[in-house]
Amino acid sequence: MPILCGLFLNKGTERRDCFMADYTASDFRKGLRVELDNIPYVISEFNFVKPGKGAAIYTCRLKSLIDGNTYVRNFRSNDVLKKPDLEERTMRYSHVETDHYIFMDENYEQFTLTVDVLGNNRFFLFEDCEVRVLYHNGRPVDITLPTFVEKEVLDTEPGARGNTATNVLKPAKINGGFEIPVPLFVSQGDIIKIDTRTGEYADRVLKK
């Protein structure tokens, strides 16, 4: 049976509404977003097993779009999962007011995200940083930052002169007191590149 879809796009907003609310196991594929127990997930891995006897088994690794935790679940061919109501909006970071982080869309309308939504991503924000905010049922649940950001090392042990080893690490602090392991040659005042997907050191850019 065909699926009727309407694609509604506004600048800075992406949303797809399909008039078929549910998925069966035969629809499963890597990258598909589904809803289970009112929580949106993305299928990060998918395997199909057909035993000699009995119904086929669909083994999925599901990553929560809210807390990032991963779960493995098995489904049978007649199991049904709901299509989540998801929307992504492009915004720019403006400033922080206590524990409330203020963002603006292209129309300069303000939106507030809390620490519960941002998690450690709040330490990687910078002024006018473009982000994508994921909404589930009209509520912000996750944020995607640029893959790499540059931050100044505010505090770390003195760099070891001439030591270029990258496999020996020491703690370093950036804004907000967030601590990240860095190579021994990194010094206070250095600008480092951080991979926001993992929160790990990627490279030293320059010394301020």
Q: Which band of pLDDT confidence, cut at 50, 70 and 90, is reported for residue 161?
A: low
92 vs 128: CA distance, rounded Å: 5
Residue type, position 109, single letter = E
Query: Tens digit of pLDDT for each residue in 179-205?
Result: 999 999 899 999 999 999 899 999 999
63 vs 30: CA distance, rounded Å: 11
CATH number assigned to the domain covering 149-207: 2.40.50.140
CATH number assigned to the domain covering 22-82: 2.30.30.30
Query: What CATH fold (topology level) applies to the domain 86-146?
Result: OB fold (Dihydrolipoamide Acetyltransferase, E2P) (2.40.50)
Q: Are 125 and 109 in contact (CB under 8 A)?
A: no
Query: Tens digit of pLDDT for each residue in 84-100?
Result: 999 999 999 999 998 89
137 Cβ neighbours under 8 A, 6+ residues apart = 85
Q: Where in the chain is the domain with CATH 2.40.50.140?
A: 86-146, 149-207
In 3D, which of 161, 159, 151, 160 has the Cα closest to residue 201? 151
